[in-house]
Protein backbone atom coordinates (compact mmCIF):
# COMPACT_ATOMS: atom_id res chain seq x y z
CA UNK A 1 0.00 0.00 0.00
CA UNK A 2 1.59 3.28 -1.04
CA UNK A 3 -0.07 6.62 -0.90
CA UNK A 4 1.82 9.91 -1.20
CA UNK A 5 -1.02 11.93 0.25
CA UNK A 6 -1.13 9.93 3.45
CA UNK A 7 -1.77 11.97 6.56
CA UNK A 8 -0.12 11.08 9.84
CA UNK A 9 -1.50 7.68 10.68
CA UNK A 10 -2.84 8.62 14.06
CA UNK A 11 -5.13 11.38 12.83
CA UNK A 12 -6.14 9.34 9.87
CA UNK A 13 -7.26 6.40 12.00
CA UNK A 14 -9.09 8.52 14.54
CA UNK A 15 -10.79 10.50 11.79
CA UNK A 16 -11.84 7.32 10.02
CA UNK A 17 -13.18 5.84 13.25
CA UNK A 18 -15.39 8.86 13.82
CA UNK A 19 -16.51 8.97 10.22
CA UNK A 20 -17.44 5.30 10.24
CA UNK A 21 -19.35 5.63 13.50
CA UNK A 22 -21.33 8.54 12.07
CA UNK A 23 -22.11 6.84 8.77
CA UNK A 24 -23.01 3.53 10.39
CA UNK A 25 -25.34 5.37 12.79
CA UNK A 26 -27.00 7.09 9.85
CA UNK A 27 -27.50 3.80 8.04
CA UNK A 28 -29.02 2.28 11.15
CA UNK A 29 -31.33 5.22 11.63
CA UNK A 30 -32.56 4.81 8.08
CA UNK A 31 -33.83 1.51 9.42
CA UNK A 32 -33.77 -2.22 8.94
CA UNK A 33 -30.04 -2.57 9.13
CA UNK A 34 -28.17 -4.73 11.56
CA UNK A 35 -24.99 -3.34 13.03
CA UNK A 36 -22.95 -5.58 10.75
CA UNK A 37 -24.79 -4.39 7.66
CA UNK A 38 -24.41 -0.78 8.70
CA UNK A 39 -20.69 -1.19 9.32
CA UNK A 40 -20.20 -2.96 6.00
CA UNK A 41 -22.12 -0.34 4.11
CA UNK A 42 -20.23 2.48 5.82
CA UNK A 43 -16.94 0.73 5.03
CA UNK A 44 -17.85 0.26 1.36
CA UNK A 45 -18.92 3.84 0.97
CA UNK A 46 -15.86 5.26 2.69
CA UNK A 47 -13.35 3.08 0.85
CA UNK A 48 -15.02 3.75 -2.53
CA UNK A 49 -14.39 7.45 -1.91
CA UNK A 50 -10.69 6.75 -2.41
CA UNK A 51 -9.51 8.56 0.68
CA UNK A 52 -9.18 5.33 2.62
CA UNK A 53 -8.49 1.77 1.54
CA UNK A 54 -10.78 -1.18 2.07
CA UNK A 55 -8.21 -2.63 4.49
CA UNK A 56 -8.21 0.52 6.59
CA UNK A 57 -11.99 0.58 6.65
CA UNK A 58 -12.13 -3.05 7.77
CA UNK A 59 -9.53 -2.52 10.46
CA UNK A 60 -11.43 0.46 11.85
CA UNK A 61 -14.76 -1.39 11.63
CA UNK A 62 -13.14 -4.04 13.82
CA UNK A 63 -12.24 -1.46 16.45
CA UNK A 64 -15.76 -0.03 16.38
CA UNK A 65 -17.31 -3.47 16.71
CA UNK A 66 -15.06 -4.23 19.67
CA UNK A 67 -15.86 -0.95 21.41
CA UNK A 68 -19.56 -1.50 20.92
CA UNK A 69 -19.23 -4.98 22.34
CA UNK A 70 -17.33 -3.71 25.35
CA UNK A 71 -19.91 -0.98 25.94
CA UNK A 72 -22.70 -3.48 25.37
CA UNK A 73 -21.54 -5.52 28.31
CA UNK A 74 -22.23 -2.57 30.58
CA UNK A 75 -25.13 -1.06 28.73
CA UNK A 76 -27.88 -2.90 30.50
CA UNK A 77 -26.54 -1.74 33.83
CA UNK A 78 -26.12 1.94 33.22
CA UNK A 79 -26.80 2.94 29.67
CA UNK A 80 -27.01 6.67 30.25
CA UNK A 81 -23.75 6.72 32.14
CA UNK A 82 -22.14 4.84 29.28
CA UNK A 83 -23.44 7.34 26.73
CA UNK A 84 -21.92 10.11 28.74
CA UNK A 85 -18.64 8.23 29.10
CA UNK A 86 -18.19 7.49 25.43
CA UNK A 87 -18.84 11.03 24.25
CA UNK A 88 -18.72 13.47 27.16
CA UNK A 89 -18.32 16.60 25.02
CA UNK A 90 -21.21 15.72 22.80
CA UNK A 91 -23.51 15.09 25.73
CA UNK A 92 -22.60 18.41 27.29
CA UNK A 93 -23.25 20.15 23.99
CA UNK A 94 -26.55 18.32 23.59
CA UNK A 95 -25.30 16.86 20.34
CA UNK A 96 -25.25 13.18 19.63
CA UNK A 97 -23.26 11.52 16.99
CA UNK A 98 -20.87 8.74 16.32
CA UNK A 99 -20.72 6.04 18.88
CA UNK A 100 -23.52 7.24 21.12
CA UNK A 101 -25.88 7.47 18.17
CA UNK A 102 -24.90 3.99 17.15
CA UNK A 103 -25.61 2.81 20.66
CA UNK A 104 -29.06 4.38 20.76
CA UNK A 105 -30.01 2.90 17.43
CA UNK A 106 -28.64 -0.47 18.34
CA UNK A 107 -30.38 -1.39 21.58
CA UNK A 108 -31.14 -4.90 20.36
CA UNK A 109 -27.68 -5.35 18.99
CA UNK A 110 -26.23 -4.43 22.36
CA UNK A 111 -28.25 -7.04 24.14
CA UNK A 112 -27.08 -9.53 21.55
CA UNK A 113 -23.39 -8.66 21.78
CA UNK A 114 -23.51 -8.52 25.56
CA UNK A 115 -24.59 -12.14 25.63
CA UNK A 116 -21.80 -13.19 23.31
CA UNK A 117 -19.04 -11.27 24.97
CA UNK A 118 -18.07 -13.25 28.00
CA UNK A 119 -14.52 -13.33 26.71
CA UNK A 120 -12.26 -10.53 27.85
CA UNK A 121 -11.62 -8.07 25.07
CA UNK A 122 -8.10 -6.89 24.42
CA UNK A 123 -7.09 -3.35 23.69
CA UNK A 124 -3.61 -2.84 22.25
CA UNK A 125 -1.25 0.02 21.54
CA UNK A 126 -1.80 1.36 18.03
CA UNK A 127 -5.51 0.57 17.92
CA UNK A 128 -8.20 3.23 17.92
CA UNK A 129 -10.81 3.32 20.64
CA UNK A 130 -13.59 5.51 22.00
CA UNK A 131 -13.22 7.54 25.23
CA UNK A 132 -12.88 5.63 28.48
CA UNK A 133 -10.27 4.28 30.88
CA UNK A 134 -7.57 1.88 29.79
CA UNK A 135 -5.73 -0.10 32.46
CA UNK A 136 -2.33 -1.61 31.71
CA UNK A 137 -2.45 -5.37 32.12
CA UNK A 138 1.15 -5.46 33.25
CA UNK A 139 1.50 -2.68 35.82
CA UNK A 140 -2.07 -1.49 36.44
CA UNK A 141 -1.45 2.10 35.35
CA UNK A 142 -4.68 3.80 34.27
CA UNK A 143 -5.06 6.20 31.34
CA UNK A 144 -8.22 8.27 31.04
CA UNK A 145 -9.34 9.48 27.62
CA UNK A 146 -12.10 11.95 26.90
CA UNK A 147 -11.84 11.73 23.13
CA UNK A 148 -11.40 8.98 20.57
CA UNK A 149 -7.71 8.07 20.54
CA UNK A 150 -5.08 5.89 19.01
CA UNK A 151 -3.86 3.90 22.02
CA UNK A 152 -0.31 4.83 23.14
CA UNK A 153 2.05 2.49 25.01
CA UNK A 154 1.72 2.41 28.80
CA UNK A 155 3.32 5.65 30.09
CA UNK A 156 4.72 3.77 33.08
CA UNK A 157 6.03 0.40 31.83
CA UNK A 158 5.74 0.86 28.04
CA UNK A 159 3.80 -2.37 27.57
CA UNK A 160 1.02 -2.56 25.02
CA UNK A 161 -1.94 -4.53 26.42
CA UNK A 162 -4.89 -2.98 28.22
CA UNK A 163 -8.35 -3.66 29.49
CA UNK A 164 -11.04 -1.02 29.26
CA UNK A 165 -13.61 0.46 31.60
CA UNK A 166 -15.80 3.56 31.68
Q: How many residues bind to Zn ion according to rule CB under 5 A?
A: 8
Residues 70, 154, 162, 164: which binds Zn ion (CB under 5 A)?
154
- Report CA-CA distances (Å) from 69 to 9, 92, 122: 25, 24, 11
3-state secondary structure 90-140: HHHHCCCCHHHHHHHHCHHHHHHHHHHCCCCCCEECCCEECCEEEEECCCC
CB of 86 to Zn ion, least distance (A): 24
Q: Is position 161 an interface residue for Zn ion (rule: CB under 5 A)?
A: no
Packing angle, helices 9-30 and 54-86, rounded to 10: 70
The yes or no reply on residue 139 touching Zn ion (CB under 5 A) is yes
Query: Nearer Cβ to Zn ion, position 59 or 141?
Result: 141
Residue 157 interacting with Zn ion (CB under 5 A): yes
| Calpha distance 135→158 (Å, rounded) | 12
Closest distance of CB 119 from Zn ion, Å: 22
Q: Which of 88, 138, 143, 166 binds Zn ion (CB under 5 A)?
A: 138
95-108 in b/e form (b: 16+ CB < 10 A) is ebebbbbbbebbee
From 51-59, 104-112, 118-126, 133-141, span contacting Zn ion (CB under 5 A): 133-141
> Considering only residues 29, 34, 53, 156, which one is a binding residue for Zn ion as defined by CB under 5 A?
156
At closest approach, how far in Å is the CB of 12 from Zn ion?
A: 26
**Residue (79 or 141) nearer to Zn ion, CB:** 141
Residue closer to Zn ion, measured from CB, 32 or 144: 144
Coil, strand, or helix at residue 69? helix
Q: How far apart are CA 131 and CA 111, in angstroms?
A: 21
Where on the chain is the footprint of Zn ion (CB under 5 A)?
136, 138-139, 141, 154, 156-157, 159
Amino acid sequence: MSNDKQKPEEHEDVGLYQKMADRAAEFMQEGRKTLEEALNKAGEEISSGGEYTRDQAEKIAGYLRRDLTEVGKKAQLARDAVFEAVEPHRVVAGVQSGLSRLLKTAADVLNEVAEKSEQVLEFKTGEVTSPGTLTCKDCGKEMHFKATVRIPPCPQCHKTHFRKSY
